[in-house]
Amino acid sequence: MYWLYLFIAAIFEVGWPLGLKMAQTSNAKILWILFAIVAMTLSGIFLYLAQKGIPIGTAYAVWTGIGASCTFLIGIIFFHDAMSLIRFLGVFFIILGVILLKIAH
């Protein structure tokens, strides 16, 4: 159950940079900032729950790794962020690190 909490926390982790980016590009700035705040709060709550059964270092690394990887892909798909082999390789290593942390747990 703790790993499910961590996955949910990581998904909400993606919500706050997305909300802040949308606040920059939308007329509904306050709405998107509120979205970011709610996402941050929920992410923190689920990370708290996950850390009851997962070591802090593992939980934090997985949380940020999933959040960073998903945000990276959202940036490329929806905001036309730069793509390069080196950038994808960096995210690949982040994902590999997350997998290794899960296996080692």
With contact defined as beta carbons under 8 Å apart, do 70 and 11 qualify? yes
Work out the number of other CB atoms within 10 angstroms of the CB of residue 60: 15
Q: How far apart are the first and last CA of the chain?
A: 14
Write the CB contacts of 98 (distance below 8 Å, at least 6 apart in sequence). 61, 62, 65, 66, 69
pLDDT at 90: 94
Q: Which uninterrupted H or E stretch holds 60?
A: helix 56-79
The residue type at 6: L
Q: What is the per-residue pLDDT across 9-25, written as a single tens digit (0 to 9) for each?
A: 999 999 999 999 999 99
Write the DSSP symbol of residue 91. H
With contact defined as beta carbons under 8 Å apart, do 14 and 36 qualify? no
pLDDT at 23: 96
66: tokens are 């999933």
Per domain, the residue ranges of the chain are 2-104
Q: Is the pLDDT of residue 95 over 80?
A: yes
